[in-house]
Structure 1
Amino acid sequence: MRLLVVAAVALLLQACQSTGDDLTPAQERAEIRLMRHNVLNELTKVSPQAKQEIERSAGYAVFSNAQINIILFAAGTGYGVVKNNLTGKETFMEMGEAGVGLGLGAKDFRAVFVFHTEKALNQFVEQGWAFGAEADAAAKSNEKGGQKSYGVTLGNITVYQLTENGLALQATVKGTKYWQSSRLN
């Protein structure tokens, strides 16, 4: 148990560093864009319909997240970028989450939000709150292991999640806050 807690905290701390403390804002934006490119390529491999869905949408967001769940408490942090398909504008954002529920584990994952309306996109960028419940099981290290990724539609937003690394079995209720990065915008 103690080893799992240490590993979970180490994973979270590693992911908390967005792309690196020694990078300039321009370099950090370039790293986030590269992450977005890689995640979208991976998403279209596991969910081919996602590419057309993104192209037809008002916009989309791609986030890199790390999350830990220790018995009754869950926490996470991350960063990403929102792309408005109608204007071409990018908004760089950060996120943090906290929740309660049963579970144990840590995971490093990517989330893709597809905004089907301009109103949903603007509301996400300007207000950024999300509340929800999550139940999942993930076991993946590098290319080994497995996960399932399905798009879940909530109102005018479809969310896809891809696990990069981690071992988690959890059922939580959580709140997540997304906000614009003052350093990168």
Structure 2
Amino acid sequence: MKSLPLLIAIVTLTACASGSSPAAKKANARQATSEALTEIYADHPGARSAVARGIGYLVCTGSDSYLFAASTGGGICTFHTGDKVDYYRFASLGAGVGIGFKKVAFLYVFQTNTAMKRFVDYGWDAGARAEASARHKDEVGQVAANTSYDVDGVRIYQSAIWGAAAQATVQGYKFWRTDFTDDVIEHND
């Protein structure tokens, strides 16, 4: 368990939007989440039509790490409502059994105003996940449990971008809005 703080620090570092200014970080977040959305559309043919029918959507990219009884993760998100884009960060923490590291992309399509308001007001998601995945960024195929499911007015799609992990966890996600002015870690381009 001595390596858990190091693991959390690594996940935090890899989950940061890069850039030397808030504007640069926003541009990089838009690019990273656009690439993630392209990946999700490739893995989930119904995702594009769900976005078109939804009232808003959140697309995120980041990493998940699994080390024995704990899992951690984090990343960046763009939240789209009409022509407006807001920026979010997320962190995850879980308990269960697992080992591995993977870069992930996920999409939340809000189907009701109540569901979208719940996300904006509270920013929490929790659920049980069990999967084994392996993917290299240059490979076309993957062995993964790419998932999609409906939860209380939200259609959720998840894809593994690269990495390998096997886990059975109960994991919670916390989302918070950011404008990238008060980042803990600054990256210079």
TM-score w.r.t. length of structure 1: 0.86
Which residue of 2 is the match for residue 133 of structure 1? 128
| TM-score, with length taken from structure 2 | 0.84
Offset of 1:113 from its aligned partner? 0.6
> Which residue number corresponds to residue 153 of structure 1?
150
Map 1:170-181 onto structure 2 (within 5 A). 170-181=167-178
Structure 2 letter corresponding to 1:53: A
Q: In the TM superposition, what is the alpha-carbon distance from 1:184 to its structure 2 partner? A: 5.9
Aligned to 1:61: 58
Which digits, 9 at most, give the CA deviation of each residue in 1:98-153, with x for residues without a partner? 11101111111111111101221122122101111111111112133432423211
Question: Counterparts of 2:172 and 2:34 in 1: how far apart (Å)?
Answer: 27
Over 3 Å counting, the alpha-carbon distance change for 1:13 and 1:182 in structure 2 is: closer
In 1, the alpha carbon distance for the partners of 2:30 and 2:130 equals 29
Q: How does 1:20-169 map to 2 (within 5 A)?
A: 20=18, 22-85=19-82, 88-144=83-139, 145-169=142-166
What is the CA–CA distance in structure 2 between the aligned matches of 1:106 and 1:10, rounded to whole Å?
14
1:13 deviates by: 4.7
**Distance apart, 1:11 and its partner CA:** 5.9
Check the 8 A contact 2:36/2:61 in 1, yes or no.
no
Supply the distance in 2 between the matched residues of 1:181 and 1:171 (Cα, whole angstroms).
Answer: 31
**Structure 2 gap segments, 5+ residues each:** 183-189
C-alpha contact 1:11 1:107 (8 A) present in aligned 2: no
Shift, 1:9, TM fit: 6.4
Structure 1 runs of 4+ with >4 Å offset: 7-11
In the superposition, relative to structure 1, how do residues 10 and 106 fare at CA in structure 2: closer, same or farther (>3 Å)? farther
- Between the aligned residues of both structures, percent identity stands at 25
Task: Please tell me the root mean square deviation across aligned C-alpha atoms, in Å.
Answer: 2.5
Shift of 1:30: 1.1
Show structure 1 runs of 5+ residues with no match: none
Give how far 1:12 is off. 2.2
Distance 1:142 1:10, change over 3 A: farther
Q: Once the two structures are superposed, what CA deviation does each residue of 1:60-111 show, in whole Å capped at 9, x if it has no partner? A: 00111211111101111111111113xx222211111111101111111111
Instruction: Tell me how far apart the structure 1 counterparts of residues 126 and 23 of structure 2 sit (CA, whole Å).
Output: 32
AA of the residue aligned to 2:17: T
Q: Which amino acid is the alignment partner of residue 150 of structure 2? A: T
Letter in 2 for 1:40: L
